[in-house]
Structure 1
């Protein structure tokens, strides 16, 4: 028997996939209608978390944040089967994941934080990525359960909370990517470039293929053989900002990047590779 607490878009589709594979699933959601609607496909909805987790060997969570996880688990605790396993797919703080892992172990339960890079369709189709870290015996035992839910499980080793950190890092990149695209759209509009031209550009030019090499260069500490000098990148950044200002638009992230470039240029790095601006995350604490 499985239980799933949190019937948002991700949780409800996880449940649909589980039921399709023959699992018995008990569900709960703060807005009860989101849980009861799943009874039509075979789930059993309950009015409170403690009732929903009774007799469940594995309890899955997909909630909003650390506070929600702590609150719902506190409500569920009286109904937990002795020795039950809690698998939390919520995006949380690293400290929260570490604390819950230890706390629930002391109470006689297994808690594994397993955040995902998956949308609702991925959850329904059991595709995407699931991240884990911590006790390797626990992860090995749960591997078949996790693998059935997703296309790939990435194990980041024995450090408890590392999966939470990797999820946050990935989400930060997605936020930055989307903000960068927003700025690219603003520049395009300011220059009267139609959207289909932008689509054509990215059909032929995929900057994503450079990520791994760029990351290694940024963290490598050697910037004296530039492929694009910082001063030249800053010149182009000025052109971006001037064009958008002339066109009456606004930029979300480029002005902050320009300020960071200026900081590094003022320290004498203008003739180095522009990736030097990322070295401060490792080398420069000033």
Structure 2
């Protein structure tokens, strides 16, 4: 038996996928209405949060944020002793570590998870869930975890899954923002975003493998390897100018330009574009 605490879009999907895979499930949510569909599919309904915790050794927590985990569980924290808490609420790395220490103080074991999927992807090959914290929880519950997607454990530091999660989301949000900027540029000339999106998707798909090449350069620390696109060549002044000419804000590309020129101004203009990471690290030399 596994108890699911928090039945928003993601929590409900995780519980429903678990039921479909044959797992026994107890559910609890602050808003009772969100439990109805799951009970209709075979879940047991806990009359109270205390009952939900008592029903299972394994607690799947999927709430809004770090604060909400405490808001919901602090009043019943004395009931957590001897239980396994798998927290799939999005938190910061330090937030995950705090929750791990908090759980340990109250006799519970803790595993943190970062879900790299939207609800419609759960249970498909495209879904990945990253975990860190208790190896024992991960190993004992792996059949359940893998019903939701590919499960990967990143070590006993409870904050590591969150760090990976947020780092991957950073790449996603910046990519989407770049698409929005491009759509605004061509949109100023009357091009529909859908028409631009078809070309953008093809281009980004073709460029995606370059991250592996950049990673090799970064890990090697040699930004002067011949054949790399130089920082001087990577100057985005033309993008800035074209954006302004079409009435598009340049605040997004201005950031990229600043990162590039921080390294050029430090005398590294002939080095490869990957050297921009040193601007992000705060090391101009």
Q: For residues 259-284 of structure 1, give each alpha carbon's deviation from its aligned partner in whole angstroms, at most 9, with x where no partner exists.
A: 22222211111222122111344571
Which position in structure 2 is the counterpart of 1:164? 162
Change (3 A) 1:107 1:282: same
* Contact 1:89-1:113 within 8 A present in 2 as well: yes
Separation in 2 of the partners of 1:70 and 1:216? 41
Separation in 2 of the partners of 1:57 and 1:135? 15
Aligned length, in residue pairs = 282
Structure 2, unmatched stretches of 5+, are none
Give the superposition deviation at 1:48: 4.1
* Contact 1:51-1:79 within 8 A present in 2 as well: no
* Contact 2:217-2:274 within 8 A present in 1 as well: yes
Q: For residues 25-47 of structure 1, give each alpha carbon's deviation from its aligned partner in whole angstroms, at most 9, with x where no partner exists.
A: 22222333222342222223346
Structure 1, unmatched stretches of 5+, are none
Which position in structure 1 is the counterpart of 2:217? 217
Are positions 1:137 and 2:164 aligned together? no
Which position in structure 1 is the counterpart of 2:84? 85
Separation in 2 of the partners of 1:126 and 1:213? 25
Separation in 2 of the partners of 1:126 and 1:206? 22
* Contact 1:113-1:132 within 8 A present in 2 as well: yes
Secondary structure of 1:264's partner? helix
* Contact 2:60-2:88 within 8 A present in 1 as well: yes
Which position in structure 2 is the counterpart of 1:103? 102
Separation in 2 of the partners of 1:77 and 1:126? 36
Query: What do you get for the CA RMSD once the two structures are aligned?
Result: 2.5
Separation in 1 of the partners of 2:280 and 2:248? 31
Say which is worse superposed, 21-30 or 118-127, in terms of deviation: 118-127
Give the superposition deviation at 1:192: 5.1
Give the superposition deviation at 1:145: 2.5
Which position in structure 2 is the counterpart of 1:40? 40
Say which is worse superposed, 52-61 or 24-33, in terms of deviation: 24-33
Give the superposition deviation at 1:238: 1.1
Which position in structure 2 is the counterpart of 1:227? 228
